[in-house]
Amino acid sequence: MTTARAKELQENIAKEAVTLLVIYGEVNTDHYAQSIELIGKAGNVPSETTAQWLELIASERQANLTGTPHTMHESDLPMNATGLETLENIWGLFEAAIQLDDAGSRAVLYNLAHELEETQNLLDWIEKTPEERLAWMPPVGQPLVVGA
């Protein structure tokens, strides 16, 4: 995993956490913060960059508690992430996980990947969005192989 890819993934996961806080108020996003730290470790991201995303989540939690405005405008958040956006995040979490040495850290990233798949309705996006359905189609003239 490149550092640039890890930074992008950290940003995406931070925005997912902030989105949850914006939509649902006070919810547990500790596993998002932990994942951001692990992604930073896997991608050799500078600690200052990792801290920036953790601070964004903490600021949104504080905004919820105090009733102050949200830390980000809703248009900058993945309120309705597409299937491909979700898949990129899930793939990135797996990519980061294989860079880590211990099973516990890998499990944190795997569990978040599974949560994103469930909460973002990944299969619905793939099945119901024509553009994304095309992204999953085999090249012309090749059969679709299921379960391979």
Query: Residue 13: its pLDDT value, please?
Result: 97
Cα 120 to chain centroid distance, Å, stands at 10
Q: Is the pLDDT of residue 28 over 80?
A: yes
Q: What is the tally of structural domains in the chain? A: 1
Q: Is 141 a member of any domain?
A: no
Q: What is the pLDDT of residues 8-24, one digit of tens each?
A: 999 999 999 999 998 88
Is there a domain that residue 144 lies in? no
Residue 77: predicted pLDDT? 76
Q: In this structure, how many other beta carbons lie within 10 angstroms of the beta carbon of residue 123?
A: 11
Domain enclosing residue 39, as ranges: 3-135
Whether pLDDT at 47 is above 80: yes
Q: Is residue 119 part of a domain?
A: yes
Dihedral (CA of 129, 86, 120, 78) sign: negative
Q: Indicate whether 148 belongs to any domain.
A: no
Instruction: Give 33-62 as a 3 state SS string.
Output: HHHHHHHHHHCCCCHHHHHHHHHHHHHHHH
The answer to the question of residue 101 being in a domain is: yes
CA-closest candidate to residue 133, choices 142, 122, 119, 141: 122
Tell whether 140 is covered by a domain. no
